[in-house]
Amino acid sequence: MNIFYGRTWAEVNLDVLRDNIEIIRGLAGKKEIAAVVKANAYGHGDVFCARTLNKCGITRFTVSNLWEAQRLFDNGISGKILIFGYCRIEEIFDNLDKNFIFTVGDVDYAEKVSEEALKRSEKVPVHIKIDTGMSRVGITTEEQLDEILSMKGLDCEAAYTHFAVADSLEASDIEFTEAQQRKILSLCRKKGLKFHSQNSGGIIYHKDFEGDFVRAGIIMYGQKPDPRFPVPDGIKPVMSVKSIVSQLKTIHAGDTVSYGRTFKADKDVKLALIPCGYADGFNRRLSGQWNVLIRGKQAPVCGRICMDQTLVDVSEIPDVQTGDVVTVYSDEIDGGSSFTAAAEKIGTINYELLCAVGTRVPRIYIENGVPTELDRYL
């Protein structure tokens, strides 16, 4: 399969995804793995990743909303799909014939769902969200939990919580995470209720926590939950973003580059034009402070990254030619060209940059060492 598409693409290595899930399986022990594939599998492509995970024996998935769940279902993904986010009452009952599990995170909402279910002589499969310290979605007291558990229209398979700082090894954060775990453990074990609390940080840094499931998110895609702390040996990044050199030109001392004229040449500079910009996920805040890789050498970004294009200095790469492959993001090369390193430079997190890889960027899936599938959104 020819992977050259004349513009910008993402390479998603499904072999690496398989390897990562096996490492996570070892960390999870007897707990079942729920694969987090919300936000298009953190930009990697939800359907293709979920298909691979199905082949690895994963039959439990989590998503953010009903549309994401529907997309998996429509594409033949098998197993249960937990929807973290809010669903309208009518949407729930339009989809009870599917393998979806809905989240209830407050008593009033749960009561409305249960009442409607009883009117229809139905039962709605739910997980109860318990707020143990995020101050986000979820009930907070045992009384609220009892009230929801007593609702006849709900089939409560489990409860869950979300850790705020499980990815941190700072002493105060460890203490906070342990307190969150104690709260959900106390509530659920007392009721004989299954529960899950471990996200990626919890899987890595608190692997001995009790629970019935673990939720593997960013670690499954080979990225660090927190750049300060290590991940297990063997965990590798799944995705890289690449482009091409579409044009070469030389500018002279005094010439300026791109919007705002923020780069001014003090000598002759050979520029390469890359058809990749912030609409593709090449974050504009990296303007003037990021290097791409061409022919194994670093090429600094010159001036502002545009919506569709970026200019880089290739003066030190004498053999560069149009059509050369450009590595924009990848953890496989030296020099820190990774989603994590880029995120640190601009004061954000790798999650944001992964999710921002644009819908017009085709995903090329690598399996058994060769490109096998292409997924285009536009």
Q: What is the pLDDT of residues 210-262, one digit of tens each?
A: 999 999 999 999 999 999 998 999 999 999 999 999 999 999 999 999 999 99
Tell me the average confidence (pLDDT) per consecutive run of 10 residues in the chain, 378 residues long.
Answer: 72 98 98 99 98 99 99 98 98 98 99 99 99 97 98 99 97 98 97 98 97 98 93 95 98 98 98 98 97 95 98 97 96 71 96 96 96 86
Q: Is 242 left (phi over 0), alpha (psi -120 to 50) or beta?
A: beta
Write the pLDDT tens digit of every residue in 312-368: 999 999 899 999 999 999 986 655 558 999 999 999 999 999 999 999 999 999 999
Written as six digits, the tokens of 269 are: 């500079």
Active site residue 297: no
Q: What is the pLDDT of residue 257?
A: 98
SS3 content of the chain, % helix, strand, coil (to 5): 30, 25, 45
Measure the CA–CA gap between 63 and 61, rounded to whole angstroms.
7
Q: What is the pLDDT of residue 337?
A: 59
Q: What is the pLDDT of residue 331?
A: 80
Kind plus residue range of the DSSP H or E element containing 284: none
Does pTM surpass 0.75? yes
Q: Which of 55, 152, 259, 377 is catalytic?
A: 259
Q: What is the pLDDT of residue 266?
A: 98
Which domains, and CATH codes, for the chain? 31-221 (3.20.20.10), 239-375 (2.40.37.10)
End-to-end CA distance of the chain: 20
322 and 247 in contact (C-beta within 8 Å)? yes
β-strands 269-274, 297-302 pairing: unpaired
Q: What is the pLDDT of residue 336?
A: 53
Active site residue 38: yes
User: Looking at this protein, which amino acid is placed at residue 361?
Assistant: V
β-strands 124-129, 154-160 pairing: parallel
Q: What is the pLDDT of residue 332?
A: 66
Q: Which of 38, 183, 236, 242 is catalytic?
A: 38
